[in-house]
Amino acid sequence: MSFASPLFLWIFTPLVLALVLLAPRSWRNSIVAVSSLTFYAVGAGPTTVLLLVTMVVNYLAGQALEPDDWALARRRKRGILMAVIVFDVATLVVWKYAGFLTEQLDGFARLFGGDFPVVHLLLPIGISFYTFHNISYVVDIYRGERPALRQPVAYATYISMFPQLIAGPIVRYREIADQLPQERTHRLDDIASGFPRFALGLCKKVIIADSLSPVVDACFATPNDEMTFAVAWLGAITYTLQLYFDFSGYSDMAIGLGRMLGFRLPENFARPYSSITVTEFWRRWHMSLSRWFRDYVYIPLGGNRQGSGKTYRNLSIVFVLTGFWHGANWTYLVWGIYHGALLVVERGFHRDEPPTERAALVARRALTLVLVIIGWVFFRSTDLSQALTMIGHMLLPDFTGVTDVIEEVFTNQRFLILLAALVVVFLPAHPVTGPLLESSSSRPATVLRVTIMTAGLFYAAILVATGTFSPFLYYQF
């Protein structure tokens, strides 16, 4: 069930909000948990059982992990923590990567005239996200940062909450633990604050991202022998914008929905294409993922406290994992290595902080954007051959124009939407639109709020009703 589907927008969400608003406080978590599991089961089918199993295992482990003063008990708890993390990671690896790994082994075996059985498993929706939520839960309890949840319903609410279950934001347990008790308040003001944020995300997704999607698909479907400089750059730029408006739109919708349910979910984007450095880009892009890897991988490895060499090692490990976290394909691994290498180079040459001169700022911002765009080519390509072909044409101008197929899909309407979307590249880093909509009563925020809630929302609703929306890109992860 997509956030941009009529069933979700006009039946599921109004019904859940009405129940949460009208029900006694003691029922609210139960309503959220049951509706969330129903939402998940509609899309995930039998793999919902896997979500339930991981929830049971991590909930029971959490009860046993709260710290105490006994050294023997602490050693036992550490063993429990390691065991449950191995279980969570193994579950993710088996269900998400077993097919990819066995395909590689089969390819290797065929070089010597043999074969290896290839595993085909149905990928559970959102497994990368709920696995990270489970790990955050047990680690934060073990560290003593938050107590374990005693009510199974409260835990089910945290893990399965439908706004963030499928594609984030990745909510660390300590960020939301204080919001999970049954007695939390929920008011009409929450709905009034959250709905404009939700509407903003819907407009980003349906009006911009989905409009650019056919152009992206046509460019990346162009055969290697027909690829040109214009096709390669058009595909790379439109995908850069499509991915941003699709994923940040989803995050806005998730944060808005969470607010309407009485929860404050963490921000996930802060104008990443305004970044001056790649280091800054990762402070602004998919921020909840960056924070998760920082807290549960980078810092435990030693962070930047053990000299330059180990800092570079830790950065490289984090970005190899970041690449593979996104999917079982060599293109994701190369994308992760590429960004890790950029960060190491920036840090090594002391270029991870922005310059002070205006001309240098503009040049560094343009360079960062170009580097990010090149990285997205790896991210979107079906294989490394396609990615390298496109990047090769991007770097070697041939001025031969676009193919007939792309001319057909690149309509005047989509051209205008592309120009409108490009505005995000030139905006200043602050203020960030989403939080501004929720918190500010300034005139610009009011004008933006009224525009989104009238013209934008009306047009988006028409597009949804006509069935012109597509699944969110991050559903595949």
Whether 298 and 314 have beta carbons less than 8 Å apart is answered as yes
Whether 177 and 146 have beta carbons less than 8 Å apart is answered as yes
Distance CA 462, CA 353 (A): 45
Contacts of residue 66, Cβ cutoff 8 Å, sequence gap at least 6: 141, 144, 147, 148
pLDDT given for residue 474 in this prediction: 66
Which of 315, 396, 456, 471 minimizes the C-alpha distance to 1?
Answer: 471
Report the SS3 class of residue 23: coil
Clarify whether 430 is annotated catalytic. no
What is the per-residue pLDDT across 51-91, written as a single tens digit (0 to 9) for each?
999 999 999 999 989 877 665 577 888 899 999 999 999 99
Task: Classify burial at 335, counting beta carbons within 10 Å of its beta carbon; exposed 0-12, middle 13-18, buried 19 or more.
Answer: buried
- For the chain, the residue count is 477
Phi, psi of 474 (to 5 degrees): -80, 0
What is the per-residue pLDDT across 243-281, written as a single tens digit (0 to 9) for each?
999 999 999 999 999 999 989 999 999 999 999 999 999
Task: Give the count of beta carbons closer than 10 Å to the beta carbon of residue 92.
Answer: 20
Question: What parts of the chain have a pLDDT lower than 70?
Answer: 1, 69-72, 182-186, 352, 439-440, 468-469, 474-477
**For helices 412-426 and 229-260, angle between their N-to-C axes, nearest 10 degrees:** 70
Which of 190, 165, 215 minimizes the C-alpha distance to 477?
Answer: 165
Choice among 133, 286, 326, 339 that is catalytic: 326
The encoded tokens of residue 382 equal: 């079906």
Contacts of residue 51, Cβ cutoff 8 Å, sequence gap at least 6: 37, 40, 44, 124, 130, 159, 160
Distance CA 30, CA 38 (A): 12
The gap from C-alpha 8 to its chain's centroid, in whole angstroms, comes to 20
